[in-house]
């Protein structure tokens, strides 16, 4: 009896699958394309980010003599962090951050943070 019941359920499943074969194939293909699209987007986004980072390093460091740490401080300044918050994020003392800030002002030939950020955007160091 159990075998007969199993056979009936199996046949019922086969007929359901055959009745909806097109929908099943379309669903499988759409999932494949969705996964492929997500992978391609991630791949190109990662390459774009690498290009932007390389461009920032190539432009900023030779022309202005900015160090990598000064670039990090400048980026955090552009995000609106205070000196204390930048120090906490980079695990440095606040005096070191102020020194990096002063060096940035000299190298960018500006007087304050706002001018430094404006000049950095003009020079395409920041976006």
Task: Encode pLDDT of 76-97 as tens digits.
Answer: 999 999 999 999 999 999 999 9
User: pTM value?
Assistant: 0.53
Domains in the chain, start-ordered, CATH in brackets?
52-127 (1.10.10.10)
Token reading at 2:
């159990």
Q: Taking Cα atoms as reference points, which of 65, 75, 78, 55 lies closest to residue 107?
A: 65
Torsion of CA 89, 93, 94, 97, to 10 degrees: -70
Confidence bin at 71 (pLDDT 50/70/90) = confident
Spatial neighbors of 126 by CB under 8 A, at least 6 apart, are: 74, 75, 78, 117, 120
Contact partners, residue 118, CB within 8 Å, separation at least 6: 110
Residue 55 has pLDDT above 70, yes or no: no
């Amino acid at each position: 009896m159990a075998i007969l019941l199993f056979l009936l359920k199996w046949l019922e499943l086969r007929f359901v699958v055959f009745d909806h074969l097109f929908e099943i194939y379309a669903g499988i293909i759409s999932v494949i394309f969705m996964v492929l699209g997500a992978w391609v987007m991630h791949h190109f986004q990662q390459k774009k980010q690498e290009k932007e980072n390389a461009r920032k390093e190539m432009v900023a460091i030779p022309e202005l003599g900015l160090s990598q740490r000064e670039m990090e401080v400048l980026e955090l300044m552009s995000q609106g962090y205070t000196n204390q918050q930048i120090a906490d994020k980079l695990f440095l003392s606040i005096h070191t951050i102020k020194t990096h800030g002063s060096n940035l002002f000299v190298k960018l030939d500006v007087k304050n943070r706002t001018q430094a950020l404006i000049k950095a955007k003009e020079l395409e160091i920041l976006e």
